Amino acid sequence: MKMAELNARRSKDPKTHVGACLVDSRNRVLGNGYNGMPRGCPDNEFPWHSPEKHLYVCHAEMNALLNVNNWSLVPGSSLYTTLFPCNECAKMIIQSGVSEVVYKAIKDKPESNQACFRMFRSAGVTLRQFQLEPVVISVSKEPTVDLLARERQQNPNLFEKILDKVGDRAIWSLVFTVISLDALRRSSIPDSYFHMINKPRY
Ligand SMILES: [Zn+2]
């Protein structure tokens, strides 16, 4: 699903970013797609507003299927998509032999959704809503006061800025900032995130 989310970020649609990723039964990527204009139809020349855009835009699921380069692996595959498919994509998904659809969000489109449910059920395509795994942030066992002192030494400017802006709520801001920084420091998130944190906007 992370890869589907990354694909979605490539969409030029100003309103709706959808990404899809097709994987085989061993989770090897078979195809990626996002909602976009057809090849040869420049993004800046075709309309991105509704309802005109619907005449032109290729949906993410369609593109993920059309980008497959090993069709022999499609039977038994799973399509991860950030948005529940429309009924037109559902037809393509079924006809391609995809076995499972894993979706993240679903829009309130009763007619299209009902048609999808009916077709998927009848064709034996498994449907599953993606469940986020709980994120566990483990923080240091150091007493918070020690962390505060250490952080203040390392980031004096940040602390002064917070104290200036939040007054008597400062202590909680500091506690949460320190916990966040500590968790980030021990995570694999790139340094650029630190950079962002060190330039707070209040
Ligand atoms: Zn669609």
Residue pLDDT, tens place only, 147-186: 667 767 777 776 666 666 655 555 666 667 777 777 766 6
What's the residue count for the chain?
A: 202
The helix or strand, by DSSP H or E, that contains position 197, with its residue range, turns out to be helix 191-197
Q: State yes or no: pLDDT of 72 exceeds 50.
A: yes
- Residue 69: the pLDDT is 86
DSSP at 68: -
Please tell me which residue in 5, 45, 52, 61 is annotated as part of the active site. Answer: 61
Among 18-27, 44-53, 173-182, where is mean pLDDT lowest? 173-182
CA of 108 to the centre of ligand 1 (A): 14
Instruction: Find the 71 Cα to ligand 1 centroid distance in Å.
Output: 20
Distance between Cα 63 and ligand 1 center (Å): 10
Our answer to whether residue 160 is catalytic in this structure is no
Average pLDDT, the chain: 83
Q: Has residue 56 got a pLDDT over 60?
A: yes
Closest CA to 90 of 125, 128, 131, 129: 125
Burial of 5 (0-12, 13-18, 19+ CB in 10 A): middle
**Could you tell me the pLDDT band of residue 121, with boundaries at 50, 70 and 90?**
very high
